[in-house]
A and B are shown apart, each in its own frame.
Chain A
Amino acid sequence: MKAQILTPASKSVRAAQAAGDRRNGKSKSDGWWPWLFVVPTVAGIGVFYLWPIVQTFYYSFTKWGVFGGTKFIGLDNYVRLFADSTIPQSILNTLIYTVVVLLGIPIAVILASLIERPGLRFAALYRTLYFIPYITMPAAVGIVWRLIYNGDFGPINWFLGLFGIQGPYWTSTPGFALLAVATVGLWMSLGFNLIIISAGLREIPRELFEAAEMDGASRVRQFFSITVPLLTPSIFFVTIVTVISGFQLFDLLYVMMGKANLAMPQTQSLVYIFYNQAFLQNDKGYAAAIGILILVIIALLTAFQFRIQKRWVNYV
């Protein structure tokens, strides 16, 4: 559900296409047969994404029996949705989580520019190390972090104890729990962000830095005046992906919090409430309405980001 369908290398692909066009000296229509190549993808998206969205939209107007059998109930699920007091809190929780994970982007930019410094030894090793958390199952990561955060026996509180600080019960104290989960989310996202931003860095022409160097610009000045502005397309891309995956927070939360957690109301995400209604309360019609709400929020946030990108994203 992350971003595996996206093609971050689209830029270089287009560069290659452009080169091809130049060789042919023209750009012409290729007829119908290229469509054959996209049929598997289009069919996959149609069957596994678009059709379920249509169905979910329909089911959000129904009462869904535990074992199937639906009854059309009009807007009842939505009326309930807007009266449900846990929804605003969970939207806020999800937003806080997303904002914390977004802080991982500047960190990734700094790390990437350190790793991509010309002549750095073991650069591939560092990239791999940062990428491992991203490809590890969130459930496994969650279980390990649950132990790390353990209030009585976890290494974090042991370390704090060395300085005489009594650490909190990280995953079961309201407030701390959300930050604890978000920090792990940030850590997991670093690897992906790092790879995208590294690729962006390598596309910045070296001559720009050489010219800046001649003009006497310091390393820091080069970073803020050349690196960051020319990285904005990559940064924009990871921002979009981060916001979308932030709003899909579930598995980490589910594994790290456990059931009967005192901090759950101040931590649960929208998808967690969706899961709760669909699979614990057996109220799948209402869950479908929550799913539509999540879709609408993600679509609005993404559209908004596309709107404001003109103000800060620089395309070469």
Chain B
Amino acid sequence: MNHNVTRRSFLSFAAAGAAVVSLAACGGNSAAGGSAAKAAYAAPAKDLSAELSYAIWDAAQKPAMQKIVTEFNKQYPNILVTIDVTPSKGSAYWTKIQTQASSNTLPDVFWMNGPHIKLYAQNNQLMPLDGLVSGKAVDTAHYPKALVDLYTVNGAFYGVPKDFDTSALFYNKALFKEAGVSEPTSSWTWDDVKSAGAKLSKFYQGKGVYGYAGDLTGGQTSYYNTMIEAGGTIISADGKKSGYDTAGSIAGLQFWRDLIESGVSPSMQQLTDTSSSDMFTSRKLAMTMDGSWTVGPAQKALGDDLGIVSLPKGPKSNQSVIHGLANVIPANAKNPAAAQAFVAFLGTQDAAKIQAETGTVIPAFNGTQDAWVKAVPSVDLTVFLDLAKDASPYPASANTAAWNELENTLLPQAFAGTKPVADVAKDLASQMNAALAKES
């Protein structure tokens, strides 16, 4: 090697080193939008010709979406809808959507969720759909109120609810029978579930089977519910203040710490290595708190051994957080008439029924959920619908992802017992408040 080569190599090293930096440079400027579509919507002519892209993240739901498109084409044969699936695992979907938003290339219609709606709506990325409501193409009374509220930002309606999910108590009948413990009922309390869990963990000690656990790598199917059941809140109704430092919230977090400390639940590290859902479907967990979307896989794995009852009652209530997706249109839609026609159709009873029959998700359209309930006859799935009635809205603010990350960083220490729950909760509250202050 002479000096020449050395220098040439060095330049290419520098280039390689720069690759990571250039990651930061994707994106650009976005145009502000959002003023259109206040006027009442009128259905476009049936021969309207257009091409729409429809972005979703769940490959399992693609067949149902395709079927809905086929039905839609019976009304509008000349609107070609292309479904584009980006798996959301690892948040790839949102990274992509955000990049598309920054470069003004958003899909014509796409799935929206609770953590992101305010971010997109407040930054004028979405088209308000009030026109669909005043044009009588969509009737918000058909959907659970908590969902309509979730997708209403600053008085404007942005997303037509597609489906919803709530959490309940799943249990394994065979494990209860073998241990001689009586099965849970919908009137159980936290104490009932703790004492039954302790008996089960003791009975199966050394066999790697545990009594009760939830997915602590996110709040929706675990601590969000218990925090609310203990009278706490995750975030204030106006989305400006953290609720983590309230006594109820701390009690709701302490519930999971107690389960781990007493050996009823696997440790935080075990739950990181193997998710509670996986432990439950592989018969290593007698009870778990889980979301309605896991009914299908759980039933497949456990068959008739699967039992589901309502959530155990906490100090204040038994309540679940409700979350659901919605279909949205970007603010600067290339073909607003066609996109609105499609979103309106996605919000109809017919579209909801197609979703219900495939059994993957609970459709948001009231009255169409029966087909979903009947899809798994061996369990009484109406508990999820009952829980939806007085469910608590999914906690969100303009930049939900920022404090979700704080939850994921700080709470494991509380659950693992390396720091007292109350200290972690207060630390989380102050850091979350700082993140919320940056939003405005």
Contacts and interface: CB of A to CB of B under 8 A. Distances in A.
Given A10-B5, A151-B270, A282-B402, A262 B18 contact: no
A57 to B, nearest CB: 8
A50 interface: yes
B12 interface: yes
Interface residues of B, number: 59
B119 A274 contact: no
Contact of A3 (B10, B16, B95, B119): B16
Contact of B217 (A49, A66, A258, A274): A258
B167 to A, nearest CB: 17
Interface stretch (A100-108, A116-124, A169-177, A212-220): A169-177
Max count, chain A CB within 10 A of own CB: residue among B5, B15, B16, B24: B24
B30 to A, nearest CB: 4
A135 B220 CA distance: 38
Contact of B17 (A146, A244, A288, A315): A244
B141 interface: no
Nearest to B122: A66
Interface in B387-415: 399, 401-402, 404-405, 407-409, 411-413
A271 interface: yes
B20 A11 contact: no
B9 A282 contact: no
Contact of B95 (A65, A173, A265, A279): A279
A56 B19 CA distance: 11
A68 interface: yes
Q: Is the interface of A mostly helix, strand, loop or mixed?
A: helix
Q: Secondary structure of the B side of the interface?
A: helix
A10 B9 contact: yes
Contacts of B19: 1, 49, 248
Given A152-B270, A248-B17, 19 more contacts: A6-B12, A6-B13, A6-B16, A11-B1, A49-B19, A50-B15, A59-B24, A59-B25, A67-B98, A67-B101, A152-B273, A169-B269, A172-B273, A254-B90, A259-B408, A261-B272, A281-B399, A287-B24, A306-B10
11 contacts: A59-B24, A68-B30, A152-B208, A152-B270, A240-B13, A250-B20, A259-B217, A259-B218, A259-B408, A265-B409, A276-B405
Interface of A: 1-3, 5-6, 10-11, 14, 45, 48-53, 55-56, 59, 65-69, 146, 149-154, 169, 171-173, 233, 237, 240-241, 244-245, 247-248, 250, 254-255, 258-262, 264-265, 271, 274, 276, 278-284, 287-288, 291-292, 294-295, 298-299, 302, 306, 315
